[in-house]
């Protein structure tokens, strides 16, 4: 069915992609004004006018273009797979700052030296950010050679040893594949730019034109135009990220086969799975039309609607599964995609990806990591409750990664509450239904750092944000404040291993609480694979309570999700206390208190 501006809203909202887009377009707006029984029969043209009056602009035609190009959206009625990743705890390593062999920057031998730490923590797998050969313009997410290890991290032999040693300890290894773009120093790109007869001539997205006029108005996610003119070829190339990260042309089947062959190479080396960087960006609308200014206000980047869910995305993912991934675990980073597309891309029977990272719970509605605000955990509760209703999806559960600030600092600036809050957040993702991801240092309750000057910033995204803000205001202090809340450097600071040792010796530390929570999850199958049942009294906004159950096991979790002391919920009458983040159990729950009970 093709939707037009004369179609009605009710029909459109039954399309999974449309509902995703509509939810994001209305973030921060009272959707009850738009989505209700009275409006379900409204023409899309009338909805467009209504959204415009609410300050969202005229965006419905762009939504219709994406929906109409989405292709097959049927979801087969299949049982979920029996797979190791469904009940695993996965730990993300940012190699540059995890552990150095000699106290310097992180490397592969440093990771090997801490595998026993990870085993003791209780994780089942590690995902490593890229360690491939790279000029490091974007800390390894600009790959120069996918089949070589960057010398700062070690050698191919070190990588083979790491995989083998991890496997000896029962830890699986997930590698980070960056396939939306390469480095501009990759041999493919250098040849594509300089040799008219190159076999790599069409490996990238090139457009002819005057050096004074980019092909369209798209902006880079790192700031500025998404196009760069290359004098060698006399043409523009697309880079959705840094200038040194030209986008690959997935429309070219030779490009796709190269990438699938690289994936097979690493599977043969022993990799158990892959995290696929911005994989949802690989299919672009080939017309390369100008971006919609109203959508840019919502998404943050001009042109976003033309690539974040392109017309061949699902076709490409099915092909990738068949020819490259095989039976390996594959989790996609898919910015901008919500529950509907999550289901499409990871549903059993569609043969695409195993899971995706859904970022809907990372920021409150109408906010982004660039905004300086205190995150409200009530929103996370409501969002994740909606995930638990999608029984066909096995969600990734996470608070942090290498691209986002530390969550405890985002929730509260009161450092006295960071310790109980860190414990609560870790328990939260370890007890919901899904696959929890713990980012390095999260198990220690690591907060954000403080940047005293521009020289303290390493992150290319933050540097660009600083420069843009400085141009706008002429104020260095204002520019620094703009990146203080958002810089990716917060997550990329070196782990304090002295702190880790001190916490290991402290039975009340965040580290030991997290170990206990992982062990509890391992001991109770209900917490790993069981059903979910929400439990709340009088729709209270200050608590989050639920049951996990499987066969005869039944576990009850209650959490105070505020910085205030609150009346304890009325839980089960007969229960055995298993774990909590405060001493003593009373009728009042302390700030960010959490408790686990066996029924």
Q: How many CB atoms lie within 10 A of CB 388?
A: 17
pLDDT confidence band for 573 (50 / 70 / 90): confident
pLDDT greater than 70 at residue 363? yes
Q: State the catalytic residues.
A: 277, 333
Token pair belonging to 92: 């993300």
C-beta separation of 506 from 513 below 8 A: no
Tens of pLDDT, residue by residue over 415-442, are 999 999 999 999 999 999 999 999 999 9
E strand or H helix at 387, and its extent? helix 377-389
pTM above 0.85, yes or no: yes
Tens of pLDDT, residue by residue over 6-31, are 999 889 988 888 888 887 777 666 55
**Alpha-carbon span 40 to 160, nearest angstrom:** 57
**Alpha-carbon span 291 to 296, nearest angstrom:** 7
- Nearest CA-CA partner of 172 in 110, 93, 252: 93
Percent of the chain past pLDDT 90, that is, above it, reads 75
pLDDT confidence band for 465 (50 / 70 / 90): confident
Classify each residue of 503-515 as buried b or exposed e, where b means 16 or more C-beta atoms within 10 Å of its C-beta: bbeeeebbbbbbb
3-state DSSP: the chain helix, strand, coil percent, rounded to 5? 40, 15, 45
Tens of pLDDT, residue by residue over 293-309, are 999 988 889 999 999 89
- Torsion-angle region of residue 489: left (phi > 0), alpha (psi -120 to 50) or beta? alpha
Token pair belonging to 445: 């309750």
**Alpha-carbon span 347 to 339, nearest angstrom:** 11
- Residue 141 φ then ψ, to 5°: -85, 20
Transcribe 37-90 into DSSP letters: TTTTT-BHHHHHHHHHHTTS-S-HHHHHHHHHT---------PPP--GGGG--E
Instruction: Return the SS3 of 276.
Output: strand
- Nearest CA-CA partner of 437 in 358, 506, 320, 492: 358
What's the pLDDT score for residue 354?
97
Kindly state the average pLDDT of the residues 483-508: 94
Token pair belonging to 393: 């999806």
**Alpha-carbon span 289 to 306, nearest angstrom:** 8
Tens of pLDDT, residue by residue over 24-76, are 777 666 556 566 666 778 899 998 998 888 888 899 999 899 999 988 888 88
What's the pLDDT score for residue 266?
98
Residue 386 contacts by C-beta under 8 Å, 6 or more apart in sequence?
339
**Quick one: CA dihedral 191, 194, 199, 203, positive or negative?**
positive
CA–chain centroid gap for 281, Å, is: 14
- With vertex at residue 169, the alpha carbon angle to CA 163 and CA 174, rounded to the nearest 5 degrees, is 40
What's the pLDDT score for residue 486?
84
Tens of pLDDT, residue by residue over 168-200, are 999 999 999 999 999 999 999 999 999 999 999
Pick the range with the lowest mean pLDDT from 156-170, 209-223, 356-370, 562-576: 356-370
pLDDT greater than 90 at residue 284? yes
Token pair belonging to 28: 């921060």
pLDDT confidence band for 485 (50 / 70 / 90): confident
- Residue 331 φ then ψ, to 5°: -115, 125
- Report the mean per-residue pLDDT for the chain: 93
Tens of pLDDT, residue by residue over 110-157, are 999 999 999 999 999 999 999 999 999 999 999 999 999 999 999 999
* Helices 460-473, 476-484: inter-axial angle, 10-degree rounding: 140
């Amino acid at each position: 069915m093709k939707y037009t501006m004369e179609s009605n809203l009710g029909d459109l909202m039954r399309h999974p992609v449309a509902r995703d887009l509509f939810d994001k377009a209305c973030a921060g707006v009272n959707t009850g004004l738009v989505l209700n029984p009275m409006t379900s029969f409204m023409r899309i043209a009338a909805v467009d006018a209504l959204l415009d009056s609410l300050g969202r602009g005229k965006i419905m035609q762009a939504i219709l273009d994406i929906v109409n190009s989405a292709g097959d959206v049927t979801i087969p009625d299949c049982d979920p797979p029996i797979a190791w990743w469904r009940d695993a705890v996965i730990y993300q390593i940012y190699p540059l700052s995890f552990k150095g062999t000699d106290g310097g920057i992180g490397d592969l031998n440093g990771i090997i030296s801490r595998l026993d730490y990870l085993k003791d923590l209780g994780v089942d797998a590690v995902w490593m950010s890229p360690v491939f050969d790279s000029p490091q313009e974007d800390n390894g997410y600009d790959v120069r050679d996918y089949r070589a290890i960057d010398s700062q991290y070690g050698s191919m032999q070190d990588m083979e040893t790491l995989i083998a040693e991890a496997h000896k300890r029962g830890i699986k290894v997930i590698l980070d594949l960056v396939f939306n773009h390469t480095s501009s120093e990759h041999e493919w790109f250098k040849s594509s730019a300089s040799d008219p007869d190159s076999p790599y001539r069409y490996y990238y997205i090139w457009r002819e034109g005057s050096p004074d006029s980019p092909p369209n108005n798209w902006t880079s996610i790192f700031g500025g135009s998404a196009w760069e003119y290359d004098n060698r070829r006399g043409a523009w190339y697309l880079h959705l990220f840094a200038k040194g990260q030209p986008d690959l042309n997935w429309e070219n089947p030779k490009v796709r086969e190269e990438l699938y062959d690289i994936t097979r190479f690493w599977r043969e080396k022993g990799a158990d799975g892959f995290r696929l960087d911005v994989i949802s960006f690989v299919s672009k609308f080939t017309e390369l039309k100008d971006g919609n200014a109203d959508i840019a206000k919502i998404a943050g980047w001009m042109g976003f609607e033309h690539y974040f869910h392109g017309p061949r995305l699902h076709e490409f993912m099915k092909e990738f599964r068949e020819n490259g991934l095989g039976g390996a675990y594959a989790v996609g980073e898919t910015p901008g995609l919500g529950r509907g597309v999550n289901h499409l891309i990871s549903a059993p029977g569609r043969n695409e990806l195993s899971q995706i990272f859904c970022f809907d719970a990372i920021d409150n509605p109408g906010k982004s990591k660039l905004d300086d605000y205190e995150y409200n955990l009530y929103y996370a509760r409501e969002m994740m409750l909606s995930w638990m209703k999608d029984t066909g999806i096995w969600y990734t559960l996470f608070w942090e990664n290498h691209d986002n600030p530390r969550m405890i600092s985002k929730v509260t600036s009161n450092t006295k509450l960071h310790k109980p809050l860190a414990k609560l957040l870790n328990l939260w993702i370890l007890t919901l239904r899904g696959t929890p991801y713990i980012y390095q240092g999260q198990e220690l309750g690591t907060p954000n750092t403080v940047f005293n000057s521009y020289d303290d910033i390493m992150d290319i995204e933050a540097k660009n944000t600083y420069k843009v803000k400085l141009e706008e205001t002429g104020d260095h202090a204002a520019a620094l404040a703009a990146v203080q809340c958002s810089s990716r450097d917060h997550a990329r600071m070196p782990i304090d291993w002295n702190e880790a040792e001190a916490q290991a010796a402290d039975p009340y530390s965040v580290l030991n609480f997290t170990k206990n929570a992982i062990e509890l999850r391992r001991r109770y199958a209900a917490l790993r694979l069981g059903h979910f049942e929400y439990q709340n009294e009088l729709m209270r906004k200050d608590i989050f309570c639920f049951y996990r159950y499987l066969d005869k096991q039944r576990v009850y979790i209650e959490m105070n999700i505020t910085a205030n002391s609150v009346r304890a919920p009325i839980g089960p009458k007969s229960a055995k206390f298993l774990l909590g983040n405060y001493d003593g159990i009373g009728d009042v729950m302390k700030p960010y208190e959490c408790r686990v009970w066996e029924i």
